[in-house]
Amino acid sequence: MPCLFQIMVLMMFKQYIDMILQSTAAVPAEPPPSFDDSITRVRRGAQQQLRQAQAEAYDLQLKYDETRASPKTPLHESPSTPELFDERRCTIRHSV
């Protein structure tokens, strides 16, 4: 026959377990994401990347159009640019 002390310890242990179960039951667990949610997240990410790429392409096209529309000065006439090609330093070697 169990003694009174063992019964009290078991009752305290039961109360402790009940308290833990009640505290975990109060916090609802998030349901795992469904396959459709994953597809939706991936699709949104891809659409955002597509929009960013389109915006970058549009900006590059504008810059390209601006450079094509601007008047060009030949390099040898421009005083601010150094000469890019020096014929005296250029040597052509033929392989035998």
Please enumerate in sequence order all residues whose Cβ is within 8 A of that of 76, keeping only pairs 6 or more positions apart, or say none. Answer: 83
Q: 66-86 as b/e, with b when 16 or more CB fall inside 10 Å? A: eeeeeeeeeeeeeeeeeeeee
Choose from 6-10, 28-32, 54-58, 75-79 the range with maximum mean pLDDT: 54-58
Please tell me the predicted confidence (pLDDT) of residue 81. 47
CA angle in degrees (0–180, nearest 5) for 23-27-30 = 150
For the segment 37-95, what is each residue's pLDDT rounded down to a tens digit?
888 888 999 999 999 999 999 999 998 888 887 766 555 555 554 555 555 555 555 55
